[in-house]
Amino acid sequence: MSRMLPLVFAFMLLVGRAAVGGEEAELTLSIVIPGRGDNPGTLRWAGGPPAPHFHVILRNITTKPVRIFEEWNSWGYGSLRFEMTDEHGQTTTIRKRPHAWTMNYPSFTTIAAQEFAIIDVFFADRSVWGDGFWLTPGHPTGRVTLKAIYAVEEDKFSREQSVWTGKIISPPVECFIK
């Protein structure tokens, strides 16, 4: 993890911001591919441990704590999605697969002021992401551009628990899927 922190902070300068009602958003969003350095990183299906993954960073850029719904419940589960554009210009939206809820309530976690939350995206886990990150035949290089989108709609529970709502989009990140 300590080797990754310089990469995380380097990408903090290139994060997505959203404006809500003309005001700067409370959160920024970025994608960090481990081992990326100055070149596009490679997302490899094989390998591990750890399992093939990359990171999405949610950063609180305010001076107060920000609450976000946890991923294990239906309020937070679908808040993160991706847009992947392949080398032919075809864009695909990647969402988590539908999930049956045996226990479900709107819980949240808090990102402290000027801190961040790291979301590990295990893109090769088809039980979560389906075939979303798989490229169809005809992609000789496997080069893609990824954008993360984090969106939470306001509802009764977000208002009651003062949970962040809105939509933010990360800057695009080029990488290879192999």
Which domain does 13 fall in, by range? 5-177
pLDDT for 34: 76
User: How many domains does the structure of the chain reveal?
Assistant: 1
Q: Which tens digit of pLDDT belongs to each residue from 106-116? A: 999 999 999 99
CA-to-CA dists, residue 28 to 46, 61, 117, 150, angstroms = 31, 7, 11, 10
pLDDT for 39: 63
Which residues does the chain have with pLDDT short of 70?
Answer: 1-25, 35-40, 46-50
170 within 8 A of 57, measured Cβ to Cβ: no
pLDDT for 36: 53
Strand order in the sheet with 54-60: 16-20, 23-32, 54-60, 116-121
Structure tokens at 140: 């000789």
Question: What does pTM read for this prediction?
Answer: 0.82
| CA 176-137-96 angle, 5° bins | 65
151 within 8 A of 68, measured Cβ to Cβ: no
69 within 8 A of 60, measured Cβ to Cβ: no
